[in-house]
Amino acid sequence: MGNVFSGQVAGNSGKWLSERFGKILQQRQSLSINMRETSTSLSTQMDSMIPASTIANLTQGNFVGAVADNFGEEIGQKVFHARIQVDVKTVAAEAQAYLPIPDITSFINPATGEDEAEEMIKANFNRIKTDVKELCERELLRIRQDPNLRHLIKEKVEK
């Protein structure tokens, strides 16, 4: 996979991403002013397309990335620095309609107020153990009754 998407990261991760995104040719202009004359000079140099400092200072909703393309489906702009546009009013209205997440880990008996976790765990363990034992017995019986599979079970030889 050549796709990379990242939010704010710092240190080696930010440096690695910056290097992964590559460099671009930047044109610089400098202006020198002294008593006798003013001069302007232009120079070019290679700079990081997205510097590590930019990646380290991304704010919420901003992300950087690079995408890979396929043969016949070339992408002109592979590296990007983007911002997610969030409609705060819509999100807030949506959040009002959220249902509370049910508590599925509580083992408190509502009638007695006692914690029945240990008893429920033991009951589940015993039920699973019984289910597995019954499944094994059914499968062994099925294999014994099938002439093509009977050879798979070694019967105990009594002396």
Q: Whole-angstrom Cα distance, residue 9 to residue 65?
A: 12
The backbone torsions φ and ψ at residue 62, rounded to the nearest 5 degrees and listed phi first, read -100, 145
- Write the pLDDT tens digit of every residue in 4-43: 888 888 888 888 888 888 888 877 778 788 877 888 777 7
Coil vs helix vs strand at 80: strand
Give the Cα-Cα-Cα angle 121, 123, 124 (nearest 5 degrees).
65
E strands, the chain, where? 4-6, 23-33, 38-48, 62-66, 79-83
Coil vs helix vs strand at 108: strand
- Write the pLDDT tens digit of every residue in 56-101: 888 888 998 888 888 888 888 888 888 989 899 999 999 999 999 8
| Domain parsing of the chain, residue ranges | 4-29+41-96, 117-152
